[in-house]
Structure 1
Amino acid sequence: MTSITFTHPDDWHLHLRDGEQLRAVLPHTAKQFARAIVMPNLRPPVVTVEMALAYRARILAALPAALQSGFEPLMTLYLTDNTLPSEIIRAKESGVIHGVKLYPAGATTNSDAGVTDIAKCYATLAAMEQNNLPLLVHGEVTDADVDVFDREKVFIDRILAPLIQRFPDLRIVFEHVTTRDAVQFVAAASRHIAATITAHHLLLNRNAIFQGGIRPHHYCLPVLKREIHRKVLLEAATSGNPKFFLGTDSAPHSQMNKENVCGCAGIFTAHAAIELYATAFEQAGALNKLEAFASFHGADFYQLPRNTSSITLKKESWVVPEQFDFAGEQLIPLYAGNPLNWKLV
């Protein structure tokens, strides 16, 4: 196979930052994807409809002229202990807010304003269930006594399973799943439960963090897991099961903030996202399953129309740049300086 043409894909989990950093990374996504669910963990977080509308306007203004008609940001709100049900109603009525993000407090980048006790959100979650607005979950507990590699499994047992019992009609996206436990849970759950899978969790296991020393640009949250989990993720992504779909979780941080005594969590993949997924699917012998995973399943779950345009990937070796400009700093991408064998035409 020398090329693949398929329906224009969407990214159902993306970090775009703001200001000059937004302008630096946005074109990478807009060249590949028709739409993207934009994460709300800015400083300050996007907690109201007005803030989401203002952020959306900044994203659209940051698009290069050539891409302004071809990319749509899908906005989200940041759930806090104090989010009101009335804000959920206004979000649904806005027509541009497509989900509400649950960050357990302290779970990841800019999550310090996140939820401290899910019970404080029950009235708001009930409003989401009633208004058919999905909950997007960073599925990790942050308890100090829980091993970092077990946080996802413990989250399922302590938070997610009881939440689904209480709100059986609430649509939930289990974001960036990383374990066999999460895949099995989603697969067995009702049609209201789905999951995104990142390219880096399909391509790398936790050994990548320690090859020849500490590799900070392979550090993300949820952290990379054992090879047995990577294989299960790849099986889920290539299975054709509509519960699993593309979400890059591309998370840009400057080289200085990654290569630090307390380096930031996040892997930047937007520069070659669809090529990275194609690489993983080819390794699994399942390129014929990429279109549904990248272009159909997410749109269907979010109850949005599938895209009608298409993209083409060509079988061509090229070398990923060593770095990109990031608002005057340097941004190191996944596979920096290494070859990929698929290239977006």
Structure 2
Amino acid sequence: MTLTLTLPRPDDWHLHLRDGAVLKAVLPETARHFARAIIMPNLVPPVVSAADAAAYRDRILDALPEKMAFTPLMTLYLTEDSDPEDVTSAHASGLVTAVKLYPAGATTNSASGVRDFTRVRGVLEKMAEIGLPLCVHGEVTDAEIDIFDREAVFIDRVLDPLRRATPGLRVVMEHITTSDGVAYVKSAAENLGATITTHHLVINRNHILVGGIRPHYYCLPVAKREEHRLALREAATSGDPRFFLGTDSAPHTDPNKETACGCAGCFTATNTLSILAEVFEQDGALDRLAGFVSEHGPRFYGLPVNEDTITLSKGDPVTYPEKIDTGNGPITLFDPQMPLHWRVT
């Protein structure tokens, strides 16, 4: 039996850090294990310009504990008023690693997102020209579309036409949740990758709804049927380099999660690697864990794989805190509802 596993230090290709007291509390939970992370720009107000991104990066680095090494990979929030030249200069300076597309109203703090995709054509064409990836929250927001169908409809109505109209644009389908998303990524010859979250490998929609409404399993995109979860696990553990880890770790304080209209998001930064090692071992794919968490993402983004390593050891079940305390209130850690035997040592 494998008792230890050494990997290149992982990266997180989709991460929410928020700001202020929450940022200070949750940043060490990622930086403890991850070398780099794509930082989501959906603050209030959003990170829409190079100046916004530089200021946010500085706040992140100021919040980083002294003995921790971590590189935030900044993104810009795409709006219908985004300036192609500002995007270009931010990328050229090394400040920005990607641009994030939120369909307006799709998720937390997405009100400033895109409604009319023709109005961002110039920015997308410039991004294709300079090789700057577009990270996509892949759901339509039409009220008449069932929430469990919104990813599949987005692929047909928005993403496929967008990619056909902008040849050469590198696209990351973030936090895919369906077999439709998996199949679409596999159908692409080039320039398309996808992140898969830790929690979507573990939960299906029953976890949210059976036995009462469980707000700490509510996320967007919402977890789907079991058949879709199994498709995600097959993709993540397959070794296919088009799929890589983006935790979408999304901290919300308990008062905001446990309201009549709770915020969407699962906070997984603390125990992600223990959960993933358990999942990959269950599926007989521990030899492919390094690809998913450490290698595929950097290669898609044209970055080097980290030279530092981490080691996971298997033993007695690992105990994690139930909550992370912040100056704004406690944040509940995602509970995978299974024993975890792997820990970072």
TM-score interval, smaller chain: over 0.9
Structure 2 equivalent of residue 36 of structure 1 = 37
Q: Any stretches of 5+ residues in structure 1 without a counterpart?
A: none
Q: Any stretches of 5+ residues in structure 2 without a counterpart?
A: none
Structure 2 equivalent of residue 332 of structure 1 = 332
Deviation string for 1:128-168 (max 9, x for gaps)?
Answer: 11111000000000000000000000000000000110112
Instruction: Say if 2:50 is the partner of 1:49.
Output: yes
Structure 2 equivalent of residue 14 of structure 1 = 15
Which amino acid in 1 is paired with 2:12? D
Structure 1 equivalent of residue 184 of structure 2 = 185
**CA–CA distance in structure 2, aligned partners of residues 220 and 189 of structure 1:** 27
How do 1:137-152 and structure 2 match up within 5 A?
137-152=136-151
Instruction: Write out the 4+ residue segments of structure 1 that deviate beyond 4 Å after TM superposition.
Output: none
Structure 2 equivalent of residue 257 of structure 1 = 256
Give RMSD over aligned pairs. Answer: 1.1
Q: Contact 1:136 / 1:174 at 8 angstroms: preserved in 2?
A: yes
Q: Contact 1:198 / 1:247 at 8 angstroms: preserved in 2?
A: yes
Which amino acid in 2 is paired with 1:205? N
Deviation string for 1:101-124 (max 9, x for gaps)?
Answer: 000000000000101111110011
How do 1:142-291 and structure 2 match up within 5 A?
142-291=141-290
Which amino acid in 2 is paired with 1:310? T
Q: Contact 2:105 / 2:111 at 8 angstroms: preserved in 1?
A: yes
The CA deviation at 1:85 is 1.0
Instruction: Say if 2:76 is the partner of 1:80.
Output: no
Structure 2 equivalent of residue 122 of structure 1 = 121
Structure 2 equivalent of residue 301 of structure 1 = 300
Distance of aligned partners of 1:29 and 1:329 in 2 relative to their CA distance in 1, 3 Å threshold: same
Which amino acid in 2 is paired with 1:63? L
Q: Contact 2:202 / 2:336 at 8 angstroms: preserved in 1?
A: no
**CA–CA distance in structure 1, aligned partners of residues 90 and 175 of structure 2:** 24
Bigger drift between 294-303 and 333-342 goes to 333-342
**CA–CA distance in structure 2, aligned partners of residues 168 and 202 of structure 1:** 31
The CA deviation at 1:326 is 2.2
SS of residue paired to 1:116: coil
SS of residue paired to 1:66: coil
Q: Contact 2:10 / 2:35 at 8 angstroms: preserved in 1?
A: yes
**CA–CA distance in structure 2, aligned partners of residues 278 and 163 of structure 1:** 36
Deviation string for 1:288-327 (max 9, x for gaps)?
Answer: 1000111110000000011001001111312221211022
Distance of aligned partners of 1:93 and 1:11 in 2 relative to their CA distance in 1, 3 Å threshold: same
**CA–CA distance in structure 2, aligned partners of residues 337 and 107 of structure 1:** 28
Q: Contact 2:253 / 2:328 at 8 angstroms: preserved in 1?
A: no
SS of residue paired to 1:112: coil
Normalising by the residue count of structure 2, what TM-score does the alignment of the two structures yield? 0.98
SS of residue paired to 1:311: strand
**CA–CA distance in structure 1, aligned partners of residues 4 and 224 of structure 2:** 32
SS of residue paired to 1:86: helix
Instruction: Say if 2:69 is the partner of 1:95.
Output: no
The CA deviation at 1:235 is 0.5
Which amino acid in 2 is paired with 1:342? W
Structure 1 equivalent of residue 110 of structure 2 = 111
Which amino acid in 2 is paired with 1:99? A
Structure 2 equivalent of residue 344 of structure 1 = 344
**CA–CA distance in structure 1, aligned partners of residues 92 and 164 of structure 2:** 27
**CA–CA distance in structure 1, aligned partners of residues 286 and 337 of structure 2:** 25
SS of residue paired to 2:38: strand
SS of residue paired to 2:271: helix
SS of residue paired to 1:300: helix
Which amino acid in 2 is paired with 1:229? H
Which amino acid in 1 is paired with 2:334? L
Q: Contact 1:320 / 1:338 at 8 angstroms: preserved in 2?
A: no
Normalising by the residue count of structure 1, what TM-score does the alignment of the two structures yield? 0.98
Instruction: Say if 2:321 is the partner of 1:321.
Output: yes
The CA deviation at 1:245 is 0.3
SS of residue paired to 1:123: helix
Which amino acid in 2 is paired with 1:300? R
The CA deviation at 1:285 is 1.2
